[in-house]
Structure formats: structure tokens, C-alpha cells
């Protein structure tokens, strides 16, 4: 069985990478995308992403990009890159995939730990049964 090529809302990856930000925001349907990318702080990050995208196309291993910007949407040029996004305590490293297109970076990096419940010890209060996972 042949592998199906990835398409996002009827567009192939080549078409998505050739689009500018305005065209991509119209496809995604997020009008906030234009305003978010218009800020000067994003331009610095977008230049790093563009440089890493070019390095990846040349076959080189791109440098890890660390950022605090959780409100930046995943763009087609980010696919395949490794980003480290701050969750409030530390940088969480992950690789961008096709299915993440249009989502914000903050949606992909959780800020709270998962809560696990344990058994209360002798003389413990009921509130001490909620024990957070160590990690």
C-alpha cells in the first residue's frame, strides 16, 4: 500500500511552504494569526526558524530553538524542527509534526503536572491522598 502524502485543508506541503503568512492564516481560519506575527518580538524568532528551516533543507542538523513564546502558531516552515518551549518552570523539548499545523505552541506544552492519588498513611488527613507525580 502506497503512503499517502500529507495534505492540510486540501493543500500539499509544497504549497503550504510557498504561502506567505496572510494566505496561511486564511486557510487556518485564525484571524489572530496575522496580529500575533506582526509583533517585533516574533520577527526575531521567525528569523531563527527560517534559518533552521534552510539548514534542514540543506541536510544539516538545525540548532535547537528555545522560546518563551507560547502564543506563536505552528507554521509550515516549522515542520521537522525541534523546539524547546518554556512551561513556566523549564523548557520542554519536542519535534514539530504535520498534525500540529495551526495549533499554538502553548497547546503542545502543558504547564501543570498530572495528579496521581496515593494511599493515606497512618494519622494522615484526607487531603494528603493527593500526591503529585515526581518528574
Plot region of 74 (φ>0 → left; ψ -120 to 50 → alpha; else → beta): beta
What is the model's pLDDT at position 25?
77
Joined grid coordinates for residue 28 = 487556518
Q: In what order do the strands lie in the sheet with 82-86?
A: 65-67, 82-86, 91-95
The CATH number of 7-129 is: 3.30.860.10
Total-model pTM = 0.73
Q: What is the mean pLDDT of the chain?
A: 81
H or E element, residue 13 = helix 13-18
Cα separation of 53 and 48, whole Å? 9
pLDDT band at 83 (very low <50, low <70, confident <90, very high): very high
- Express as a percent the part of the chain with pLDDT over 70: 75
Could you read off the pLDDT of 55-68 as tens digits, one per residue? 988 999 988 999 99
How many Cβ atoms are within 10 Å of 68's Cβ, its own excluded? 14
Amino acid at each position: 500500500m502506497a503512503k499517502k502524502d500529507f495534505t492540510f485543508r486540501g493543500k500539499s506541503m509544497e504549497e503550504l511552504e510557498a504561502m506567505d503568512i496572510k494566505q496561511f492564516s486564511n486557510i487556518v481560519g485564525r484571524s489572530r494569526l496575522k496580529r500575533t506575527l506582526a509583533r517585533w518580538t516574533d520577527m526575531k524568532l521567525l528569523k531563527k526558524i527560517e534559518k533552521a528551516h534552510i539548514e534542514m533543507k540543506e541536510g544539516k542538523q538545525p540548532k535547537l530553538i528555545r522560546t518563551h513564546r507560547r502564543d506563536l502558531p505552528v507554521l509550515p516552515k516549522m515542520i521537522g524542527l525541534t523546539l524547546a518551549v518554556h512551561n513556566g518552570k523549564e523548557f520542554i523539548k519536542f519535534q514539530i509534526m504535520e498534525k500540529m499545523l495551526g495549533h499554538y505552541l502553548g497547546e503542545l506544552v502543558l504547564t501543570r503536572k498530572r495528579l496521581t492519588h496515593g494511599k493515606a498513611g497512618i494519622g494522615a488527613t484526607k487531603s494528603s491522598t493527593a500526591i503529585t507525580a515526581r518528574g
